[in-house]
Amino acid sequence: MPGKKRNPLLLRFLIWRTKNMTQQQFVMLLSALIGLTAGIGAVVIKNLTHFIQELLEGKFINYYHHAFYFVFPIIGLTLTAFIIRYVIKSPIGHGIPSTLYAISKKKGIMRPLQMYASLITAPITVGFGGSVGLEGPTVATGASLGSNISRMFNMNQTTRTLLIGCAAAGAMSSIFKAPIAAIIFAIEVFSLDLTIASLLPLLLASVSAILTSYFFFGSGTVLPFTLKDSFVIADVPYYVLLGVIAALCSIYFTKVYFKINDLFKNINSRLHRLLLGGSLLGLLIYFIPPLYGEGYDVINNLLQEDYLKAMGNNPFTAYMDNFWIVISLLAGLVIFKIVATSLTFNAGGVGGIFAPVLFMGSTMGHCVALFLNHLNILKSPLSVSNFTLVGMAGLMAGVLQAPLTAIFLIAELTHGYELFVPLMITAAISFMITTRFLPHSVYTMELAVRGELITHNKDHAVLTLMEINQVIEKNFIPLKLGMTLGEIVYKGVVKSSRNIFPVVDKDNNFMGILLLDDIRPVMFDKNLYDTVKIDELMQSAPEVIDRNADGVKSIMKKFQDSDAWNLPVVSHGKYQGFVSKSKLLTAYRKKLIEVTV
């Protein structure tokens, strides 16, 4: 790692690699390695979670008492909080948003603890009933591995970002056994450039991860389903309707998610947030057991059109022969899943929103199909399982704003492209309507509001990749306060090739600037050399660049607002040098070529 003494074996390998492998070949090798490690991370997280869940649900809830549905989430959140505070001793971000933050603000550098933090805390959160998913923590674990491996081998930021995308693709490929959708997910969510240079590493990472998944899990998937009903052209209007409903649910999902987050931010005590969030979550799960954990069992039962099994034992079990009770309960799952997810996060749980989105989407699609079929206005009934699948795509397209991922994920999960047309219809409509009201996804909303999102803006990304230190020029001659005109001429003008001079005090604090144009009318009058002081000639700088606070984007804005060609740079008030607009634009063009090739 940078800043540490290098391992002799690693040093020898780096020397061998320089002599025997091109940079492109080495990136390919690293992408396959990162895909493998991301796949193993996915296997560990999934297996550990399922072990905890089967132990608790099988031996306690089923054999002893239903009330454990209320108790377990609080226990799990308490254990998670204890581990974060006393074992990890550092806050853990929420999966994909924390990864996007690292790319946007930390140049893709992620802390080593993120390689194992989610690996420990996410299974406890979800295993004990936290209503969140494991995809986000799996991606964060893989991304941290990718970041730290790339740092170990001195990769630049562009390559480091690509390898983080490889880790994300590997994690998703391992979980869903959908390698194409995993690549598209990495490109859409992390806004990677789709070039041959990026596509091949993503492909290698995705393939190595899915092979890892096959080795440990065999051919089983989280959503084992094969299409039973073909697409019927007469159903197109109803898929359009499903897209509209998916958009409304997506807006509801995002609004509720951030509203609950804002409410909990007003509670300063972590203990109070844990007790309140955990108690409300336990209460929800006690009355609505399907909200327990990720919810893939519920999704699979809905895909088999067995809503009775999907609803499990609940206070309304005796009334499940009433259609309107069933519809109300399914609608309740859609309404309360995001509430349960938000409570889990704000109580201190660790997880992601991918599984809750699939849960809500499947329940929404199932509910819509049942309702339309019940009206008896259709010539032939709609395929409930197909609507359940397409509903997942609709909500993914809206909430995650990743329509291509939604389409290809469902297509790959069903082992075919029979539903490609309805998937495209519903996903496109949901995406278009949602983005009309919400310009950013749940993943990127907070970063975008704070102005810290660069992954989805190419110009902003290039500006962030640039280093201010690379464009500071120091061949300017500083002039001291109190200098006479004669001293300015002999100590500054005669010795300098520049037409601008920084003015500093005895402690090198920046005080202003002196332009050659300011003294040209008097510099040849030697009678003024001893009487005119610099204090009378100097002026304030149109803008000042703070080396510690200003990024390249804000520097560009200062040049634009001031219409200056050179601006002084300070650090804690001390003069550092100047940045010229021409050098900054030259550096920008070079970085743009480097990023886009």
> What backbone torsions phi and psi does residue 495 show, to the nearest 5 degrees?
-95, -10
How many other β-carbons are positioned within 10 Å of the β-carbon of residue 279?
Answer: 15
Residues 96 and 169 placed together within one structural domain of the fold: yes
Do 128 and 250 fall into the same domain? Answer: no
Please give the backbone phi and psi of residue 502, each rounded to the nearest 5 degrees, phi first: -75, 145
Residue that is last in its domain, among 460, 489, 519: 460
Dihedral angle sign, alpha carbons of residues 80, 81, 85, 89: positive
106 within a domain of the structure (yes/no): yes
Domain range for 158 is 8-217
In a domain, 38, yes or no: yes
Residue 2 buriedness (CB in 10 A; 0-12 / 13-18 / 19+): exposed
Same domain, 440 and 567: no
DSSP 380-435: S---HHHHHHHHHHHHIIIII--HHHHHHHHHHHTTS-TTHHHHHHHHHHHHHHHH
pLDDT confidence of residue 591: 65
Q: Are residues 429 and 446 in the same domain?
A: yes
Contacts with 58 (C-beta within 8 Å, 6 or more apart), sequence order: none
Q: What is the pLDDT of residue 19?
A: 75
Which residues on adjacent β-strands are paired with residue 491? none
Which residue type occupies 392?
A: M
SS3 for 579? Answer: strand
Q: Is residue 479 a part of any domain in this protein?
A: yes
Tell me what pLDDT residue 3 has. 46
Query: Considering only CA atoms, which of 169, 198, 221, 182 is closest in space to residue 38?
Result: 169
Query: Looking at the domain assignment, is residue 93 inside a domain?
Result: yes
Q: 447 with 478, same domain?
A: no
- The total number of structural domains in the chain stands at 3
3-state class percentages of the chain: helix first, strand second, coil last, to nearest 5:
65, 5, 30
Going by C-alpha positions, the residue among 288, 183, 185, 173 that lies closest to residue 222 is: 173
Instruction: Specify the amino acid at residue 318.
Output: A
- Is the same domain home to 470 and 444? no
In a domain, 228, yes or no: no
Of 432, 460, 488, the residue at which a domain comes to its end is 460
- Residues 284 and 198 both lie in one domain: no
Q: Are residues 126 and 83 in the same domain?
A: yes
Run of H or E residues at 580:
strand 574-580
Which of 407, 433, 460 is the endpoint of a domain? 460
Q: Which residue has the tokens 């074996």?
A: 9
The tokens for 273 are 């947030």
* CATH code, 579: 3.10.580.10
* Radius of gyration for the alpha carbons in the chain, expressed in angstroms and rounded: 29
**Full-model pTM:** 0.77
Determine the pLDDT at residue 123.
93
Please check whether residues 323 and 426 belong to one and the same domain.
yes
Q: What is the DSSP secondary-structure string of 439-460?
A: SS-TTTHHHHHTT---TT-HHH
Taking alpha carbons only, the member of 272, 66, 362, 68 closest to residue 354 is 362
Tokens of 380: 């032939």
- Residue 246 located in a structural domain: yes
Tens digit of pLDDT per residue, the chain (597 long)?
444 555 677 777 777 777 777 878 888 888 999 999 988 988 899 889 988 888 876 655 555 456 667 888 999 999 999 999 888 888 777 677 777 777 766 767 788 888 888 888 999 999 998 999 988 888 888 888 888 888 888 777 778 888 888 988 999 999 888 899 999 988 888 777 667 777 899 999 999 999 988 888 777 777 887 788 888 899 999 999 999 999 999 999 999 999 999 999 899 888 999 999 999 999 999 888 899 888 899 999 998 888 888 887 777 777 778 888 889 999 999 999 999 999 999 998 998 899 999 999 999 999 999 999 998 888 889 999 999 999 999 999 999 989 999 999 988 887 767 889 999 999 999 999 999 999 888 877 766 555 555 554 555 555 555 667 778 888 899 999 989 989 988 888 888 888 899 999 989 999 999 998 888 888 888 888 888 888 888 888 999 999 888 877 788 888 888 888 889 999 988 999 998 888 887 777 776 655 554
Written as one letter, the residue type at 314 is: N
The answer to whether the Cα torsion of 46, 48, 49, 51 is positive or negative is positive
Nearest-angstrom CA–CA distance, 559 and 308: 65
The reply to whether 440 and 471 lie within a common domain is: no
What pLDDT does residue 447 have?
Answer: 65
User: Does 494 map to a domain?
Assistant: yes
Return the structure tokens found at 355: 């599984």
Angle between helices 114-127 and 135-152 (to 10 degrees): 170
Same domain, 269 and 197: no
Instruction: Pick the closest to residue 326 from 380, 369, 381 (CA basis).
Output: 369
Cα 49 to the center of its chain, rounded Å: 23
Which amino acid, residue 398? G
Domain at 158, CATH number:
1.10.3080.10
Q: Is the dihedral of CA 130, 134, 139, 141 positive or negative?
A: positive
Q: Cα–Cα distances in Å, from 100 out to 109, 443, 468, 523? A: 11, 8, 22, 55
Asked if the structure places residue 223 within a domain, the reply is: no
Model pLDDT, residue 555: 82
Single-letter residue type at 209: A
Query: Using CA atoms, how far apart are residues 40 and 207, in angstroms rounded to an integer?
Result: 13
| Spatial separation of the C-alpha atoms in residues 139 and 142, rounded to whole Å | 5
Residues 154 and 170 in one domain: yes
CB 292 within 8 A of CB 311: no
The DSSP code for 484 is: B
Kind of pairing between the strands at 500-504 and 479-480: parallel
